[in-house]
Amino acid sequence: MAFQRDRIFWTISAQIALVNFYLGGFGPAQPLLREDQGTSLTVAGLHGTAMGVASIIAGALNSRVVHRFGRSRAAWLGLGLFAAGIVMFVYCPPVQLTLLATLLGGIGTSFVINNMVTGISHHYKEDAAIALPQSNSIGSAGYVIGTLFVGTLAGTSISWRYGLLLAAPLSLILYIFGREKGAEEHVPDLDGPQRGKLSLQFWLAWIGFVACISSEFATTFWAAALLRERVGSTAAISTVCIVALGTGMGIGRWFGGPALKRFKLDHQLQILIGTQFIGFAIFWLSHNLVISLFS
């Protein structure tokens, strides 16, 4: 049977698009946040650290939450925490509170992402190799829209924070119309959450995954500031320019699977990591706006 994008696919993809809308606006807006709060680069960077700590907390708790409530409810719970974090971030401007809001929203974001991966994989089984990257590609569209929206507001008299706030009511609307109202009640397994040791191959893959995600988050959080420093653009223009990152991720996720299908999985990974390294290196060394955007 051919792969079909059903209601579950679009609901999960919409969840991912919403959290990516926030990430797309929040990361590149770091120079704007720093200007508002009058903080140093180090203090502003703590927001990225808070998001990283949040993902660790969510990863540690996810299996227990899923065991108790099921994947679907765990994802909706994450979306609720995400929305609460956004509201707190917008209406509580002191840096101590924005850090706490980022931590709360980051935990919710990671819950959504974690359960998106397992939910799509469980639902589509052998078609997950196509469904998962395409769902992520839709998430990248949310990232691009968030970047454009916040960057556009930054050039007006309207606070850029209200661009991020848009994701909160949209999360509520998605919950009202997107959740499965007649879904079968989740019954926790009597044996408890899954347990067991992880293989050496897993940990080697984990190291590579951490390296890739680290470069992605570093680019997401600091590319706008780097562009501003290297080419002298305004904070708003630099923020909007980061749309190139989300566009590249979206194209790669939607077309990457079919394009690399003829290669073995190991070779696919080598090609992708090599491409990421080259792009990151060019961007890091570039002092030209066009070259930076292309890389």
Question: Does 222 have pLDDT greater than 60?
Answer: yes
Q: What is the pLDDT of residue 87?
A: 96
- pTM, two decimals, is 0.80
Question: Does 4 have pLDDT greater than 70?
Answer: yes
What is the mean predicted confidence (pLDDT) over 46-73? 88
Q: What is the pLDDT of residue 271?
A: 83
At 91, the pLDDT band (50, 70, 90 cuts) reads very high
Domains of the chain: 7-179+201-294 (1.20.1250.20)
Report pLDDT digits (tens) over 234-278: 666 666 667 777 777 778 777 776 677 777 777 777 887 888 888
Torsion of CA 222, 227, 228, 229, to 10 degrees: 90
Question: Does 19 have pLDDT greater than 90?
Answer: yes
Three-class secondary structure of residue 92 per DSSP: coil
Kindly list the distances between the CA atom of residue 181 and the CA atoms of 70, 175, 176, 178, in Å, as whole numbers in the listed order. Answer: 14, 10, 9, 9
Instruction: Identify whether the C-beta of residue 55 lies closer than 8 Å to the C-beta of residue 106.
Output: yes
Report pLDDT digits (tens) over 285-294: 888 877 877 7
Kindly list the distances between the CA atom of residue 249 and the CA atoms of 102, 111, 269, 279, 286, in Å, as whole numbers in the listed order. Answer: 23, 21, 15, 12, 20
At 89, the pLDDT band (50, 70, 90 cuts) reads very high
